[in-house]
A and B are shown apart, each in its own frame.
Chain A
Amino acid sequence: MDFATLLQVLDSTVRLATPLLLACLAGLFSERSGVIDIGLEGKMLIAAFFSAAIAALTGSVWMGLLAGIVSSMLLSGLHGLASITFRGNQLISGVALNFLAAGLTVLIAQDWFSQGGRTPSLMSGGRWEAITLPFAESLRAVPVLGPIYAELISGHSILVYVAFLCVPATYWVLFRTRFGLRLRAVGEAPEAVDTAGVSVIGLRYAAIVICGLLCGLAGSYLATGLQAGFVKDMTAGRGYIALAALIFAKWRPWYALMACLLFGLLQAVALRYQNIDLGGITIPVQVMDALPYILTVVILAGFVGRAIPPRAGGQPYVKER
């Protein structure tokens, strides 16, 4: 494999890791507050659809983004209503949202566009344009570093940069601010937060709003950045992979970045090398495509060391003495 190919694989790793990273950080906020969110998938999916649909109708990718975020936040709000206000089971609520999103997107798509549950392909203006960072072309001649800068770092859409900036931002919010302290506390010991005179419910809703926002970005990027339009079930399990990455990362932002890059790399490799010929034995494309999912199973089965989740995760808060 030459240097150019390596750069190409890494470049698509970054693109493919972006939606995972956004969803993973979304889950991080939610789960750190003690609300397990299996509905990342559904939120991404609905955001992908509305982003693509509104972008197709208005011709503006920004309007699409806004629609994606709003739709994702609405689903988040439903999850909050069911699992925080009415103290329902968080897993069931999340699964229900996934089904809701899977059905609703295709139904509305068919009604609006009559293209078999997809949106029309987006023209330029409806998609995110690549941003060329300053001096990318002039520095290309510099050996090694030049191509890395021009190929790998420059030339992504704005959401990619937003996603990567979200990592230090999340770290800062979580560990350097009052909100972060309270958020972490409410996922570990909500009774401590409550007796300190801070609203458990308020904090959890705040976390869920952030989760909806980030899932909206993730879905939007899928349909208007990575691809040019919405197709049925286009998230393809990315929400679950993001959850696996979150566990792998032990609910920490920088580790989340590493985990998502790893999953992104596997997806990039699968895209690039469809059939690998290992001297007589050919590894079929299906095996390569399955790699990220296999890693997910391995991680969830606990082969990567013990991950201790936030202690109050999954439990609705009920006051008791």
Chain B
Amino acid sequence: MDEKSYLDMDLLRFTTAGSVDDGKSTLIGRLLYDSKTLFEDQLENLERLSQQRGEELNLALLTDGLRAEREQGITIDVAYRYFATPVRKFIIADTPGHIQYTRNMVTGASTANLALILVDARNGVTEQTHRHIFLASLLQIPHFAICINKMDLVSYKQAIYDAIKNEIQDFISKLAVPDITFIPISALLGDNVVHASKNMQWYHGPTLLYHLEDVHIGSDENLVDCRFPVQFVIRPRSDTYHDYRGYAGKIASGIFKPGDSVTILPSGFSTTIKSIEGPQGEITEAFPPMSVVMQLTDDLDISRGDMLVRQHNTPFIGQNLDFMICWMNIKPLTAGTRYIVRHTTRETKGIIKEIQYKIDINTLHRIPDATKLELNEIGRISMRTAQPLFYDSYQHNRATGSIILIDETTNETVGAGMIREPSAAVSEKKKKEQEK
């Protein structure tokens, strides 16, 4: 690595999905091993553990974390791994493929740029494959890399790869997936993971690592709709900064500049941005995911949970929400129950009005008349909140379209919601605009 190149590196977050025997742990081990990210003591430890189990170097053991997991030979939770090449740093959210699968995959997917989905070439497309692809598309991960693994066990045959690829493309055409790449690999032997395979001359695409380094993530953020949820108000109350009021927070979407006129929600007052400061001082443009401090020209009563937007591009404002939810708790979701709602920096209470349907995530069929959602189930619900939220549809804006539900008694996070653009909300917004 040359001296200053790290100042130019960018960051890609990806999530891995695969069933227990798809070779996911082996693939991650292979990426770390072949990209020379493993340390010697980790490698020695791996050799020792492999020997104890009477195995050759077992790269899958690298991703075994907690004692309970090693004892049971399973992964319990999302584990985060890191590696870097000279052009990019990578964060892997490694999610287990069995119990609590949905909950963990949704967690890992919520912050990912790319979903890496593994398919065993011997078994072809299974219900699990459908489930993984559905969840990744539900969470709106912008890029998909589908790795058809264990090609060595099907004699590296192109026909098998083509058949799987066609079947997945058929399935995906029903979903909204913006960018998809197929790669035939053998994680165990290293074909097309870091080094191009000599066994598959018929494949002319990138290796997995090349693709991870090269995939274009610059346009993944929403740069159009200006949304700045106020996170914290900075008031030094010192002699030098006697009247200073700075509104700190993370840019959810859009580009803000000093001099822009902005509207404050929920008050509806308008004012102008006086200055924006980033971590290195004053800046002329702020965009996601920057953490900044804004000063405004007028002295207004603004607090955490308020949102700065542009006058002619406002989010939906309302108390009736329609959203897809992934349920994450043993205690099922039922209509009529109250929860604490967190959305951007806003917290309020909400009551479930109705479960519209739940989804069979293996067949994608809708099941109407559901009375409850169990752990790891996905459904569409309606909710009424105690205070209005300022939101966009998740499809349009991940940052202002996502919501979590918290149990009032246990304080546990119990559900992850992706807000839809409901007809009711549209009319609420229109009504508001007509009033102006």
Q: Are A and B subunits of one complex? A: no
